[in-house]
A and B are shown apart, each in its own frame.
Chain A
Amino acid sequence: DAKTTQPTSMDCAEGRAANLPCNHSTISGNEYVYWYRQIHSQGPQYIIHGLKNNETNEMASLIITEDRKSSTLILPHATLRDTAVYYCIVRVDRSNFGNEKLTFGTGTRLTIIP
């Protein structure tokens, strides 16, 4: 699976949009971009994933560049509860996903400032 690069930490004001970047310049054509977050002392929580089109769900939006070498996770109106470590992971989305592990990098520690 392709390697990802994320900033170590970021701050964002409460109520503003939090934009978390991720570089994955070696991504292959069949690899998806997944985002998870981990709030302190909890298990990781799935946020969103995508292949090449932009995606949006109730939690966030995922913007993937046309060349797919980078992406941005957007939390539209950050709250204090969004303070967490955010992980960007690239992997092949095979049909037997249940048998495929996820490899975590160091992630971005996002702090929402009141």
Chain B
Amino acid sequence: GAVVSQHPSWVICKSGTSVKIECRSLDFQATTMFWYRQFPKQSLMLMATSNEGSKATYEQGVEKDKFLINHASLTLSTLTVTSAHPEDSSFYICSATDLSGANVLTFGAGSRLTVL
């Protein structure tokens, strides 16, 4: 089945630095990818919709200048957390759909960010 790969699976950084998380669709192309964030003991919250070749669409309350999304190819979307602070520490998960396959939304394994 469709596989979505995320890298890194976990990252620790200092406050004020930027962190990039990659999301790749393996063996299928994805014009659209979704980025979610999950805080401990809470459900997944959609942050933004990443569109290949165009600007991402952000959910209400998500700062687009802080969470930069780039979807430069049909198999790669990146999320950059700029000037990270401890409150940005969270589990970030991306997802995509293989429209030529089972046509269900497939999620990556997630990336755990800890900002010190």
A interface residues, Cβ below 8 angstroms from B: 34, 36, 38, 41-46, 49, 87, 96-99, 101-107
Q: Is the CB of A44 within 8 A of B104?
A: no
Say if the beta carbon of B112 comes within 8 Å of chain A: yes
Say if the beta carbon of B91 comes within 8 Å of chain A: yes
Q: Is the CB of A41 within 8 A of B91?
A: yes
Mask of B80-109 contacts with A, CB within 8 angstroms, 1/0 = 000000000001010111010011111111
User: How many B residues have CB within 8 A of the partner chain?
Assistant: 28
Given the known interface contacts A41-B91, A43-B107, A43-B109, the answer about A104 and B31 at a Cβ–Cβ threshold of 8 Å is no
A96 surroundings in chain B (CB, below 8 A): 99
Q: Is the CB of A42 within 8 A of B43?
A: no
- Name the distance in Å between B4's Cβ and chain A's nearest Cβ: 8
Chain B, interface SS category: strand
For the complex with contacts A98-B99, A99-B49, 13 further pairs of A-B residues with Cβ separation under 8 Å are A42-B110, A43-B110, A44-B107, A46-B105, A49-B104, A96-B99, A97-B104, A98-B32, A98-B103, A99-B32, A101-B46, A104-B43, A104-B45
Q: Please, how many angstroms separate the alpha-carbon atoms of A43 and B106 in the complex? A: 9
Q: Is the CB of A106 within 8 A of B49?
A: no
Say if the beta carbon of B34 comes within 8 Å of chain A: yes
Residue of B nearest to A34 (CB): B104
Residue of B nearest to A47 (CB): B104
Q: Please, how many angstroms separate the alpha-carbon atoms of A38 and B36 in the complex? A: 13
Say if the beta carbon of B113 comes within 8 Å of chain A: no
Chain A, interface SS category: loop
Residue of A nearest to B102 (CB): A46
Say if the beta carbon of B30 comes within 8 Å of chain A: yes
Say if the beta carbon of B44 comes within 8 Å of chain A: yes
B49 surroundings in chain A (CB, below 8 A): 99, 101
B99 surroundings in chain A (CB, below 8 A): 96-98
B93 surroundings in chain A (CB, below 8 A): 43-44
